[in-house]
């Protein structure tokens, strides 16, 4: 079997991680990287062995001999690059959120179907061991009927003020909520959301000149009489030991599960000036190679391309998440519940 030749569009924090992972996968070959910042693209290419460097993704997609591409641009830039890649017959892995409007997501789904390419959204937490364990327990009936799910994914204020420069062009529900909404759908076996009620508050970040909500929360009613509450905030203090806070509570008629991947106490590190829970699940550096669930999700994509398999996190999944988030944002703005289309 020939290696899958790949390129990466956008080599910031997440794109650099994709490049690193591709460079270590036995079935992949990192051919090209693209970024508007040529110096950054050159650094990533040199570090991970990419042969070609571009600053225009259209040029890369047209000239580089690649089979597949990771699109790791800011949230609001996913559609155009995805459509261009699909039109040229490239298999596509898009970082979450798939899109920031339902119209864009539908266009992306339609294009992928028409062209017949492998199209996957990188909902990488589906490969995280705690959530795989929960999924198995639910599917095996150990918890009975799932009646309620509480989920929280929040970030410290470092993220919207320092880590990314484009936080005013997205919001915490797109940036973080897409993860936990997908996880909830997946745990509920693809259940359909029927109605949402969202709330938001705009204070701290707007005071800093960043036009985006501090938090967005939502109640979601699912088919099958399950209700979930999701909570996303990105103004937690930077003194928190971990940059993110991820928790799930899954309540069933016969049992319950509690997941906390941000404060797993298997590893704690205390020094004279810092207290932290080191990150070991996402992409831990193990003797120069990344180990963790992000690697697992990207390797899954490569296997789907190589062996003509259906990705586990499809564009249809991305579309469903986009629809839910758009409804939450509408509800939060209007102050009333919003029903989703049938």
On average, the pLDDT of the chain sits at 96
Unique residue bearing structure tokens 């996190």: 313
Contact 228, 149 (CB under 8 A): yes
Q: What count of other Cβ atoms lies within 10 Å of the Cβ of residue 182?
A: 24
Task: Provide the CATH number for the domain around residue 188.
Answer: 3.30.360.10
pLDDT category at 77 given cuts 50, 70, 90 is very high
Verify that 135 and 245 share a domain, yes or no. Answer: yes
Alpha-carbon gap, residue 1 to 308, rounded angstroms = 12
Strand order, beta sheet including 91-95: 52-54, 28-34, 4-9, 68-71, 91-95, 119-122
Res 1: pLDDT:
65
At 227-250, the pLDDT tens digits run 999 999 999 999 998 999 999 999
Residue 37 has pLDDT above 70, yes or no: yes
Residue 180 has pLDDT above 90, yes or no: yes
Question: Long-range contact list for 333-340, CB < 8 A, 24+ apart?
Answer: 333/200, 336/197, 337/195, 337/196, 337/197, 338/195, 338/196, 338/197, 338/198, 339/194, 339/195, 340/192, 340/193, 340/194, 340/195, 340/196
Lowest average pLDDT, out of 41-50, 258-267, 297-306, 314-323, goes to: 258-267
pTM (two decimals): 0.96
Verify that 173 and 44 share a domain, yes or no. Answer: no
Q: Of 186, 187, 198, which is closest to residue 229 (Cα–Cα)?
A: 198
In this structure, what DSSP letter does residue 236 have? B
Verify that 333 and 308 share a domain, yes or no. Answer: no
Verify that 163 and 50 share a domain, yes or no. Answer: no
Verify that 22 and 116 share a domain, yes or no. Answer: yes
Task: Provide the pairing of β-strand 284-286 with 289-291.
Answer: antiparallel
Map 135-176 to HEC letters: HHHHHCCCCCCEEEEEEEEEEECHHHHHHCCCHHHCCHHHHH
pLDDT category at 342 given cuts 50, 70, 90 is low
CA distances (Å), origin 25, targets 104, 106, 224, 300: 31, 31, 40, 11
Verify that 16 and 87 share a domain, yes or no. Answer: yes
Domain count, the chain: 2
Contact 51, 32 (CB under 8 A): yes
At 106-128, the pLDDT tens digits run 999 999 999 999 999 999 999 99
Verify that 175 and 148 share a domain, yes or no. Answer: yes
Lowest average pLDDT, out of 143-152, 176-185, 238-247, 267-276, goes to: 267-276
Verify that 131 and 235 share a domain, yes or no. Answer: yes
At 261-297, the pLDDT tens digits run 987 777 888 898 888 888 888 888 889 899 999 999 9
Verify that 78 and 184 share a domain, yes or no. Answer: no
Query: What mean pLDDT do residues 186-204 have?
Result: 97
Q: Where are the alpha helices (DSSP H) in 32-128?
A: 38-48, 57-63, 78-87, 102-115
Quick one: what percent of the chain has pLDDT higher than 70?
A: 99
Task: Provide the CATH number for the domain around residue 15.
Answer: 3.40.50.720
Unique residue bearing structure tokens 């190589």: 306
Task: Provide the pairing of β-strand 338-339 with 289-291.
Answer: unpaired
Res 268: pLDDT:
85
Verify that 113 and 245 share a domain, yes or no. Answer: no
- Widest CA span in the chain: 58
Verify that 100 and 143 share a domain, yes or no. Answer: no
Q: Is 54 helix (H, G, I), strand (E, B) or coil?
A: strand
In this structure, what DSSP letter does residue 208 have? T
Verify that 102 and 17 share a domain, yes or no. Answer: yes
Domain of 248 in residue numbering reads as 126-284+320-339
């Amino acid at each position: 079997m020939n290696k899958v030749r790949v390129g990466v569009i956008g080599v910031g924090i997440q794109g650099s991680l994709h490049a690193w992972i591709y460079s270590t996968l036995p079935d992949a070959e990192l051919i090209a990287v693209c970024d508007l910042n040529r110096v950054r693209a050159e650094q990533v290419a040199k570090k991970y062995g990419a042969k070609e460097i571009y600053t225009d993704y259209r040029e890369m997609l047209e000239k580089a001999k690649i089979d597949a591409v990771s699109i790791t641009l800011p949230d609001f830039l996913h559609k155009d690059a995805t459509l261009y890649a699909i039109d040229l017959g490239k298999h596509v892995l898009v970082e979450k959120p798939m899109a920031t409007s339902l119209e864009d997501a539908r266009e992306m789904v339609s294009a992928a179907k028409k062209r017949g390419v492998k199209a996957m959204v990188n909902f990488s937490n589906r490969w995280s061991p705690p959530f795989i364990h929960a999924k198995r327990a639910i599917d095996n009936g150990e918890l009975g009927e799932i009646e309620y799910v509480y989920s929280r994914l929040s970030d410290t204020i470092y993220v919207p003020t320092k880590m990314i420069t484009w936080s005013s062009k997205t919001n915490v529900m797109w940036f973080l909520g897409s993860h936990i909404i997908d996880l909830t759908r997946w745990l509920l076996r693809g259940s359909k959301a029927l109605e949402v009620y969202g709330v938001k508050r705009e204070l701290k970040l707007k005071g800093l000149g960043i036009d985006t909500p501090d938090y967005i929360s939502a109640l979601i009613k699912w088919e099958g009489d399950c209700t979930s509450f999701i909570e996303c905030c990105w103004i937690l203090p930077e003194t928190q030991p971990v940059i993110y806070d991820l928790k799930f509570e899954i309540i069933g008629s016969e049992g319950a599960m509690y997941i906390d991947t941000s404060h797993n106490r298997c590893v704690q590190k205390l020094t004279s000036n810092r207290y932290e829970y080191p990150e070991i699940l996402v992409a831990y550096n193990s003797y120069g190679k990344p180990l963790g669930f992000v690697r697992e999700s990207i390797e899954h994509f490569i296997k789907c391309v190589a062996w003509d398999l259906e990705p586990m996190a499809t564009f249809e999944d991305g579309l469903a998440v986009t629809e839910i988030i758009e409804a939450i944002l509408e509800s939060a703005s209007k102050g009333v519940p919003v029903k989703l289309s049938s």
